[in-house]
Each structure stands twice: as C-alpha cells, then as structure tokens.
Amino acid sequence: MGRLFWKFFFFILVAQITAAVAVGIIFSLERRERIHNTTELDLSPSAALFVRASAESIRVGGTDALSEMIRGGSRRIYAVDDSLHDILGRDVPPLLIQKAKTALQDETTQRSVDQITAPDGQRYLVFLSAPRKDEQLLAFGEPGNSGFFFPVIPVLTGTIASLFFAMLLAWYFSQPIHKLKLAFASAASGNLNARLAVQMGKRNDELADLGRDFDLMTEQLQTLVESQRRLLHDVSHELRSPIARMQAAIGLVRVQPDKLPATIERIEREGVRMDKLVGDLLYLSRLEAGFTGTMDEHIRMEDLLQEIINDAQFEAQNCGRHIECDIHNDAVIQGRAELLHSAIENVVRNAIKQTPSETTVTIHANIESDRQRLLITVSDRGPGVPEDELLAIFDPFFRSSRTENTSNGYGLGLTIARRIIEAHGGTVTASNRSDLGLCVSISLPYSTLNTLDTSGAQNSLPT
C-alpha cells in the first residue's frame, strides 16, 4: 500500500465518518423534537405510577421537588399550571393539554392524569406524553434523563461500512496509478515494451484513458527509437562500402604506383558519394526537426510543375524516355517553393530512372474541389513495387527488390520528398498500376488566385 492509498483512505474515511456523525446528530435533534411535540398521552400503568409519584413529590417538597424529579426522570412528564405554562418552561402542544384535560374527566384514565395542588396553592395538571418506538434503540443517555439521544448502532454500522468502502475506493484509485508509476519507471530505464491497456481491465474512466495514452506514447517512442537504430545501421552500412573502396584504392596505389591517376579519380568519386550522402542526411534531419524556413510564399503550382517538367524532359531525352503531362490548374499553395520543387522533382526523376527506355512518364495535376486538394500523380512504366513494400519505399535507405539502378543513390530521395510534402500539410502515397508500373500520388491543400489578395500573391509567386 503506497502513500497515495493512505491519503485516499484517510480523507474518504474522515468525510464519511463526519457525514455519519452529522446525520446521527440531526436524527437525534429531530427525534427529540418529535418526542417533545407528540400529541398522544401515555395512559399505561407506568404512567399512572409516575403521576402518583409526581403528586406525592409536589405535596412534600413543593414545585422545586417536582422540577428536580422531572429533570432527573423522564422528560415526558409535564406539569402545566392554570395559565398553561409548563413547570420547566417547555413548549407543550395545546392538543396534548386538551387531551389531558379530557382524560382527567374520564374515570377510566383518571389515574394516568392528575390535578395536583402545590403548597403555594398553585394547581398543576400532571400527565405523560406517549413514548416513541425508537426510544427502544441503544443510546448515549436515556431520553428520559437528558433528552439527548444518539443512535449508536446505526452510526457504528455506518462507520464500519465507511471503513470498508474507503479502503475499497482508495484501492480502486491507487492501483492504476501505481501501475502507471511502474510503467513510467520501466520506460525511463529503456524498456518500451510495457503496456497498460491490458492491466487496466474493463475500466472506462480517465485513468484507463491515461493508460491507453501511455501505450500510444511508448509505441511511438519505440517506433522512433527503432527508426533511429535502423537509420544508424543503414548509414553505417552505406558509408562502409565507399570507405572500403577508398582503402582498397589506397592499398592498390601503394602496390602499383603507375595507377595513381585512376586511383585518385576513384577516391574523388567515392568522396563525392559520401559527401552527397552526408548532405542528404543533414537535409533530412533538418526537415524532421521542423527547420523548413519560412512557409509564407504563395506558389502557383502550374508554373512550378512546368519548370520541373522542362528540366525532366531534358534529362529524359538523354536516356530515351518521354514525358507526357496535363498540369493545367489555377491552384496556389502556401509554403516554400524551393522545398516543393525539390520534393516533386525527386519523385519525377525517380520515375524517369525506373521507366524502361522508349516508355513514357505521365504527370497529371487534378483539382479535387470537394476536398480543396490538388492531386499530382507521377506514373512510370517500370517494374512497380511488391504490395508489401509500398509503404516502405518512403523509409530511409529502402530499395525495392524490383528497383532498377540500385547502384545509384542511397534511397533518401522519396523520404525527403515525403517530409517536405507533409510539412506543406499534404500526403504522398504509392500504388501499382494495373498495366505495369508505379504511380506516386501527391495530395496538397490549395487555394485559388481568386481567394488571395491579388497584389500580395503576385509579388510572392516564383517566376
């Protein structure tokens, strides 16, 4: 049992005991009031005995003796003078007095009600109010003595029940918090496999929601950690090959000095490859960290796509490929033109590399007005990608088993493109064409020139 359990237990118990005592006191006061305000006479033999004792007391000791007798005995005894004032100054229900006077005239009840004359000549009507059934309950102080009644058994029962339910409620709240504490400690030590949803059982409250949020957090952390580990492994693997080739070239030139020019060229080429790899990694790291620069340019997408296609056609003609496009649209996207240009160009150049010679890469740009999205599709006639690899092609260093030209690049182009598209509020997906080839779809939120301030938009559009 932890500290939280005892805190819950203590405060719940105190609250419940306080409530039980308060209810008991209110019950006692209300009962006392009902007893004093009863309008029924006690006509039992014991009442007659009390009345005779009261008469004897007032004849011998006067009104003071009667007052002491009433205070020390049953407070249901009343002695009312001709002015209808009780000897102890208590409020007596008029109906009760009237019934006492009526009973005094009845010979069968005369012994239970009596008219007594004190030594000073003052007359008192002496009678008893009828007892309540709840007077039989165990109490601190007899009702007839002090008039104070406290329901011990109900309050004691309530206190025991409070003790039990306080422990149950404290356990109910403290157990999941204790599990959360252990799970956080486990996660802090590096174990991200701990899950709380199963341990929460069928709970459906905020603590269960907190457990599910913890599971979601650890899953995301685990994914990030595994991604970082995989990235580190892939970087190490990618760097090992050019470094090994450079070391082999250095060893070769030592054995065959006459091949120095070719070896230097080889070392330079490997150095350029490593420099590009490191540059791409730094660029990707900045994108993942959110360092995208200002994103307040209004980019006319038709102009941007046309510029990318012009460059792509020049590259495609040199390797026997063709470009077919339909990009007419009036979409304007807020963001950074340089980044979007790089992302879409990466996708287009990748399609050009994968499509066979004498085939066509198709680029379309369609406006989905119902969703306020611009859909850009880039389709090639290459081998496509296995269905189970369609999501993985956007991961760093991933190369599909069907991809051509695996010796060129490091598999970072599509990863960088995805990060840029997501930074602009868009999505990028890949799917296989039914007639062979891969289709990459880029969806971006857009506005139109008509919805922008014309002067501000024109000033920031790329030329």
Q: How far is CA 53 from the centre of its chain?
A: 74
Q: Does residue 277 have a pLDDT over 80?
A: no
Strands 360-368 and 373-379: antiparallel
Q: Which residue pairs from 451-456 have beta carbons closer than 8 angstroms and sit at least 24 positions apart in sequence?
A: 452/298, 452/332, 456/298
Largest CA distance in the chain: 152
Contacts of 159 (CB under 8 A, 6+ apart): 16, 17, 20
Query: What is the per-residue pLDDT for 463?
Result: 37
Confidence of residue 259 (pLDDT cuts 50, 70, 90): confident
- Its pTM surpasses 0.85: no
Q: With 0-12 CB in 10 A as exposed, 13-18 as middle and 19+ as buried, what is 177? A: middle
Query: What is the per-residue pLDDT for 301?
Result: 93
Confidence of residue 461 (pLDDT cuts 50, 70, 90): very low
Q: Options 1.10.3080.10, 3.30.9.10, 1.10.287.130, 1.20.1560.10; which CATH number does 201-291 get?
A: 1.10.287.130
Q: What fold characterizes domain 3-154?
A: Beta-Lactamase (3.30.450)
pLDDT single digits (tens) 231-252: 676 677 667 777 887 888 888 8
Query: Where exactly does CATH 3.30.565.10 map onto the chain?
Result: 297-460
Confidence of residue 27 (pLDDT cuts 50, 70, 90): low
Confidence of residue 4 (pLDDT cuts 50, 70, 90): low
Please state, in angstroms and as integers, the Cα–Cα distance from residue 344 to each residue in 142, 306, 418, 422, following that order: 94, 11, 10, 12
349 or 253, higher pLDDT: 349
Query: What is the per-residue pLDDT for 427?
Result: 94
As a residue count, the chain comes to 463
Query: What percent of the chain clears pLDDT 90, i.e. is strictly above it?
Result: 15
Query: Where exactly does CATH 3.30.450.160 map onto the chain?
Result: 3-154
pLDDT single digits (tens) 286-336: 776 666 677 888 999 999 999 999 999 988 888 889 999 999 988 999 998
Confidence of residue 462 (pLDDT cuts 50, 70, 90): very low
pLDDT single digits (tens) 75-100: 678 888 888 888 888 878 888 888 88
* Yes or no: domain 297-460 corresponds to CATH 3.40.50.1820: no
User: Mean pLDDT over all residues of the chain?
Assistant: 78
380 or 125, higher pLDDT: 380
Query: What percent of the chain clears pLDDT 70, i.e. is strictly above it?
Result: 79
Poorest-pLDDT segment among 3-12, 192-201, 214-223, 224-233: 3-12
Query: What is the per-residue pLDDT for 143?
Result: 43
Q: Does residue 414 have a pLDDT over 60?
A: yes
Query: Where exactly does CATH 1.10.287.130 map onto the chain?
Result: 201-291
